[in-house]
Structure 1
Amino acid sequence: MTDPHAAFAVQLRDVWLRLGREVILRGVTLDLPAGQGVTLLGENGAGKTTLLRLLSAGLRPTRGEGRVLGFDLRDSRAVRDAIHLMPVDGGLYPDLTGEENLRFALRMHRQEGDVPGVLRRVGLEAAAGRRARFLSAGMRKRLALARAHLLARPVTLVDEPFANLDDAGRALVQELLSDLRGRGCSLLIAAHEPALAQAVSPRTLRLAGGLLREETPA
């Protein structure tokens, strides 16, 4: 029998999330078909990062149900095997070099990949042997993007990928995220630059007051 959830990368049904006394999400419902890209908009503090953490099994819903590729969000091990979260700060290991960060990520996911090749593609071949803590904010962003591209998890969540980058860096982000979509990855991009994100992921959602609503791109 065909799994009715298999066609969806993400499904949320009436999901509420409370952190302490604050209600972050209020009855959020979402269907993200496999292979689709979504741009997530919202003001600072609206809960975009929190929603990404919930989808990556870093947080559990207070109420409601959620699935990633058919796996219940409460099954954190299965969800984490299917998903990659690129946080706004990159989520790198500061004492590992750029190359070591990428090789460690591959080992964690039991994958193989062309580490020197992806470092060249993001313009970091000369910095491959430098510890991540000594890289600039823009270089760390490029390294985190290289890791997401190398892993190419079925569901990839990206938090503010255009921050701390110049025009060339932003164009590279668009190129690599578009490549991920072309490889069949489902993308959810939280961004403050709607036009840049929508060029990769036209479907647009806005989070405000804990509610998630569909929005028509301008």
Structure 2
Amino acid sequence: MAEGVSGRVEDQLPPLVSPALQLRDLWLRLGREVILRGVNLDVMVGEGVTLLGENGAGKTTLLRLLASGLRPTRGEGRVMGFDLRDSRAVRDHIHLMPVDAGLYPDLSCAENLDFALKMHGQTGDVAAALRRVTLEAAANRRVRFLSAGMRKRLALARAHLLARPLTLVDEPFANLDTAGRGLVLELLGELRAGGVTLLIAAHEPELARQVAPRALRLAAGVLHET
């Protein structure tokens, strides 16, 4: 297991033959707009999937739904064996890294990671996680004073530290230079090597598919294999 990751991911995961995600005829309506239309999906434990689609196609909305931030209008879904509508159970097995990083701006880098560990009842080496993303010098700096690229790296450190069985990542390569993108590939690759299931929404398929080779495309609310 890579430095900074808490515990053994294998101890949190069901057998490798189990599905991490199962969606059946899943629909989502927000107000008058239909966002998802009859989505069917099977993703096995340990698999890496890249989610493609134009801006506004619903990729972020699908990730939020899988993280139990939204409830489906109709249809069925299971996440790591738990009913999608059982938000508490789902959240115990999933981590969402949103495009805006989802950090607490008035907490320092180290405090953000400490808080994430406490929220999930985990322990881990925060200092090592910060070193892994070259943020050790900013450990005590408040997030509101970080650049967009530094916030992205801190969010990546949090995902790597938590190593939840199912990790959803929204636009991990945005606001990063070539070195930063390389670091994203390295850390996400380490998560997959440890048995974590990855679902990555990205506009850079040539990068994302290096760690998540199966590709799906969301268009007009319908999910297709590519």
TM interval, short-chain normalised: over 0.9
Do structure 1's residue 32 and structure 2's residue 43 form an aligned pair?
yes
Percent sequence identity over aligned pairs: 77
Do structure 1's residue 146 and structure 2's residue 157 form an aligned pair?
yes
Normalised TM-score (structure 2): 0.93
Counterpart selection for 1:180 from 177, 180, 191 = 191
Q: CA deviation at 1:170?
A: 0.1
Aligned position for 2:5: none
Instruction: Tell me the alpha carbon deviations over residues 141-190 of structure 1, each in whole angstroms, 9 at most, x when there is no partner.
Output: 00000000000000000000000000000000000000000010000000
Aligned position for 1:129: 140
Do structure 1's residue 110 and structure 2's residue 121 form an aligned pair?
yes
Q: For 2:139 and 2:147, how far apart are their aligned partners in 1?
A: 13
Normalised TM-score (structure 1): 0.96
Where 1:44 maps in the other structure, the secondary structure is: coil
Where 1:67 maps in the other structure, the secondary structure is: strand
Q: Letter of the aligned partner of 2:124 in structure 1?
A: G
Aligned CA RMSD, in angstroms, stands at 1.4
Aligned position for 1:163: 174
Structure 1: stretches of 5+ with no match in the other structure = none
Q: For 1:21 and 1:131, how far apart are their aligned partners in 2?
A: 40
Q: For 1:211 and 1:40, how far apart are their aligned partners in 2?
A: 12
Aligned position for 2:57: 46
* Aligned pairs for 1:203-214 within 5 A: 203-214=214-225
142-151 or 114-123: which moved more?
A: 114-123
Instruction: Tell me the alpha carbon deviations over residues 18-46 of structure 1, each in whole angstroms, 9 at most, x when there is no partner.
Output: 00000000000000000100000000000
Do structure 1's residue 119 and structure 2's residue 130 form an aligned pair?
yes
Aligned position for 2:30: 19
Q: For 1:127 and 1:19, how far apart are their aligned partners in 2?
A: 40
Counterpart selection for 1:71 from 75, 82, 91 = 82
Structure 2: stretches of 5+ with no match in the other structure = 1-13
Where 1:103 maps in the other structure, the secondary structure is: helix
Q: Which runs of 4+ in 1 moved over 2 A?
A: none
Q: For 1:50 and 1:138, how far apart are their aligned partners in 2?
A: 23
